[in-house]
Amino acid sequence: MKIRGIAQSIAEAIKQEMERNDRIVVVGEDVTYWGAVFGFTMGLFEKFGRKRVFDTPITEQTFMGMAVGAATAGLHPVVSLMFVDFLGAGFDQMYNHMAKNYYMSGGQFPMPVTIITAIGGGYGDSSQHSQVLYGLFAHLPGFKVVVPSTPYDAKGLVTKALRDPNPVVVFGHKLLTGLPFLPFEGTEEEVPDEPYEVEFGKAVLRREGNDLTIISAGLMVHRSLRAAEMLQRDGISTEIIDLRTLIPLDEETIVKSAKKTGRVLIVDEDYMSYGMTGEVAFRIQAKALKDLKVPIARLAVPDVPIPFSEPLENTVIPNVERIYNEARKLYQES
């Protein structure tokens, strides 16, 4: 079937896995009638009812703790964290229990929990509703970190998450959901009706090129592709890598591309310092330093809160023009 955006794909994956596995339950704020607001659980309450899909109060610490307990008892909770910005309210349950219980129990208690959360700015929702923050989860051992950019990947990656015995956090960018009340920068594409998996730790080439490599995830993949079209008009052939998952990270694909083009720009919507761009840059230089023609460049959100003001927000979140300018500058430096 043809699907516009990632929200319907995520909901479809959960529905099909709930049909297959009666241990899967869905919890969180407004997951019933509102579909978790961003559509990730739409239609599930109508199909499965309140015994398997139920709303919680606005108490992240409580429903993350419920998920840990339910997973320990043999269920597979799907937890909606409506905005990733509020992860702090449930941090202790996620960081000290969900991520560590399997290790601390000597493997006695698997922790099959799938967290689905909305990320990103670009529509004027200000500092507390516009962050990405997947770097925080990628930093801590115990979580797998998934960032789908297309409807096909969203369904396959979420299906994979729901068959994984470990905690997986799925970060769905709001501007890729395809919902009518938000700007849309994603894609509409054919998605198989039947269930399928997309492997974790396998990046994908969204565009092949020879002159430089742009590495990104989520919304930034689409903006990088548009920048690549502009670069092509300047005669610069650009390769675009969509990471798909940060944990595990497909080091082989990014190093191979870096060796091929010799020029690497890493584009991210998370904060610059101590984030994804620094980690990926280190992995590349460790294995491809002699092949680089210029130092690796990074474009990410500077260390400031996301502004409400549209001009200021556009200044801090990488847009197509800034990606184009940074890539062009990188190419001209060598």
Active-site residue numbers? 129
Separation CA 8–CA 6 (nearest Å): 6
Within 8 A by CB and 6+ apart from 19, the residues are: none
Look up tokens 């591309």; give the residue: 257
Q: At 254, which helix (H) or strand (E)?
A: helix 251-261
Look up tokens 């990628």; give the residue: 138
Give the chain's length. 334
Tokens at 47, concatenated: 């199909």
Question: Which one-letter amino acid corresponds to residue 187?
Answer: T
Question: Which one-letter amino acid corresponds to residue 209?
Answer: G
The secondary structure of 59-122 as a DSSP string is -HHHHHHHHHHHHHTT-EEEEEEEEGGGGGGGHHIIIIIITTHHHHTTTSS----EEEEEE--S
Backbone angles phi and psi of 82, in degrees to 5: -55, -50
Separation CA 308–CA 311 (nearest Å): 9
Tokens at 313, concatenated: 């927000």
Tokens at 208, concatenated: 């092949």
Radius of gyration of the chain from Cα atoms? 20
- How many Cβ atoms from other residues are within 10 Å of residue 106's Cβ? 7
Closest CA to 265 of 316, 203, 324: 324
- The answer to whether the beta carbons of residues 79 and 47 sit under 8 Å apart is no
Exposure of 104 in the CB half-sphere (CA atoms within 13 A): 11
